[in-house]
Amino acid sequence: MKFRSWLSTCSSATSYDPTPPPPPPPKPLFSDTSSGSDIPGSSSSTSHDTSYSSSSLQSNLSLQTLPSVPSLQKLSPETLTLSLASHHHYHRLASLKPLPLPVSFLAVHRRLLYAASATEINVFDINNFSLIHTFNGNSSSSGSVKSISFYNERVFTAHQNCKIRVWKLTNNKKNHRLVATLPTVNDRLLRFAFPANYVKVRRHRKRLWIEHHDAVSGLEVIDGLNLMCSVSWDKCLKIWRVSDLRCVQSIKAHDDAINAVAVAIDGTIYTASADRRIKVWGRASGERKYGLIASLEKHKSAVNSLALNGDGTVLFSGACDRSILVWEREDSANYMAVTGALRGHSRAILCLIYVSDLLFSGSADRTVRIWQRGLDGRYCCLTVSDAHEKPVKSLAAVPEDESATGGGGGVKVFSGSFDGEIKVWQVVVANLNSSVLF
């Protein structure tokens, strides 16, 4: 595997600096049983010892909160050799001045990168990193953007003010026009006159059951079912029909704020909450309503992020306990069972994505780690990026074809941080006998 760090920082400002800076001093890459750390050093042996001590300490911190969960890390992949300082290189193609606001969410759709910072959403062309469009920037009342999802020509955005906005791509699919806000006016008019449609949200206050009454923290479209799900800090999971933008179901899903949602290819929904639980929701054969399938309880602190592998048989969950838990489908163990933990981050796990058989994790410790599963079911941390100056809040990635990467295929990865920067990395997967450059 080859790791090329090419890039650049993206933002809404478009100042461009074509002069590439001199390469920074090399850092060794190291993968150990607790997944390693990037620590500068003049020799590989010194770096090895220092990195090992630092990573061991981080794993011990994680073990203090989850001592009963075994680690799934191993020293290195069977046939992958990690490069050391002598093979290390950087090449920055461009520099776009970053926003002075934290990046709250990243998403990629049709070769466009959507980057949310506070109330503003900036859209970049991922081929040349040019800014194409900025929208929602004048709507300070909507609050910060928490999540972005897509369905055909529509873009759905989740907001701090409890609303979901629906945008339509216009002008050769480069501009975005607001077409609706969920719940829609028509949906409200159909229900507001009937007392049975109201639920108590706090003392002396009621709201329509189709409304969220706290920040909407996550959105996911359920492919093939014409549905979308939303989760909120109000502890509820809501199901929306995207054809007419109506809410069709609301579930009091957790005992505390819901922080993340993930959807498998079969329509199964996973929700993660500050109540330390992950819940699994599905529809029985012939049923239209979602119901609880299982409650997964192993984390000892708030669960912040979820990711699924391609076929939905493996679930990854990241929490404030500094561990990434790996859950695998096991019908005899209440739907899913935890098989182990991936350790190495020294602070809370804030975001996870799984693309092209690679797991990417972003943390409050300001690093991004890349994990790969071996044939024995154990995982190796291939490398660690410490390019950000503040916690890494969001990750997005898109597979690249062989022509775009010079052979072998690969992944283009975007990491957004509280420092307002978006780092872009090209991960090129050639073969397991190649070295990793970062």
Q: Cα separation of 290 and 3, whole Å?
A: 42
pLDDT digits (tens, 9 = 90+) for 207-254: 999 999 999 999 999 988 999 999 999 999 999 999 999 999 999 999
The verdict on residue 155 lying in a domain is yes
262 pLDDT higher than 90: yes
CATH number at residue 394: 2.130.10.10
**Mean pLDDT score of the chain, rounded to an integer?**
80
Query: 25 or 313: whose pLDDT is higher?
Result: 313
The verdict on residue 28 lying in a domain is no
Residue with tokens 């907001």: 159
24 pLDDT higher than 80: no
pLDDT digits (tens, 9 = 90+) for 162-211: 999 999 988 777 789 999 999 999 999 999 999 999 999 888 889 999 99
The verdict on residue 27 lying in a domain is no
Q: What Rg do the C-alpha atoms of the chain give, in angstroms?
A: 22
Domain that holds residue 89: 77-428
Reference 122, options 109, 137, 110; nearest CA is 137
- How confident is the model at residue 253, as a pLDDT? 97
The verdict on residue 403 lying in a domain is yes
pLDDT digits (tens, 9 = 90+) for 274-312: 999 999 999 988 889 999 999 999 999 999 999 999 999
The verdict on residue 106 lying in a domain is yes
The verdict on residue 228 lying in a domain is yes
- How confident is the model at residue 143, as a pLDDT? 84
- How confident is the model at residue 77, as a pLDDT? 52
pLDDT digits (tens, 9 = 90+) for 26-62: 333 333 333 333 333 333 333 333 343 444 445 555 5
State the total domains in the chain. Answer: 1
The verdict on residue 46 lying in a domain is no
Reference 317, options 347, 276, 366; nearest CA is 276
